[in-house]
Structure 1
Amino acid sequence: MNSFEEVFDAVKAYCTQNGKVGDVAKKLWLDTLKPARLEGTDAVFYCASEFQRSVVNNNYAHLLEEGFAETLGFPVKLRLIVQDGTEDAADAAEQDQKTADALEKTANDGEYAYTFDTFIVGGSNQFAYAACTSIARGDNNGNTYNPLFIYGPSGLGKTHLLTAISHEMKKRNPGLKIIYVTGETFANELIEAIQQKKDTTKFHEKYRNADVLLVDDIQFISGKESTQEEFFHTFNILHAAGKQIVLTSDRPPRDIKILEDRIRTRFESGLITDISMPDFETRVAIIRRKAELLDLNIPDDVAEFIANRLKTNIRQLEGAVKRLKALKSLADSSPSISMAQSVIRDILTDEQPTPVTVENIIQEVSNLYGVTAEDIRSKKRSQQISNARKVAIYLVHEITQMTLA
Structure 2
Amino acid sequence: MSRRRLKDIPIPVEEKPTKQEYAIATYLKKNCPTKKTKFLNHQVNYFYANKAIDILLDSQWATGKDVIFTDRQSVVDCMNKLLKLKFFHRAKKIPITDKDLKPKDLKKKKEKEKEEKKKKDTEKKEVKKEKEEEDEDETKEPGASDKDEKEGKDKDEEKEKKKKKKSKIKLDMHLEQVFVDGADAYVWMYDPIPFWYYIAGALCLFGAIAVCLFPLWPPTVRKGVYYLSIAAAGFLGVILALAVIRFIVFVIIWILSMGVHHLWLLPNLTEDVGFFASFWPLYHYEYRGEGYDKKGKKKKKSKQEAKEQEEQDKKSDGDETVDGQDTAAETDKPETDVERVAGEEQTGASETDSENSNSQPFEMVEKEDVVEEGEKGEGGKEEEEPKKGSCVEEVKESSETESEEEDEEKDDDKKTAS
**TM superposition score category, shorter chain reference:** under 0.3
Structure with greater Cα Rg:
2
TM-score of the pair, normalised by structure 1: 0.20
More helix by share: 2
Work out which structure has the larger RCO, using CA pairs closer than 8 Å and 6 or more positions apart in sequence.
1
TM-score of the pair, normalised by structure 2: 0.20
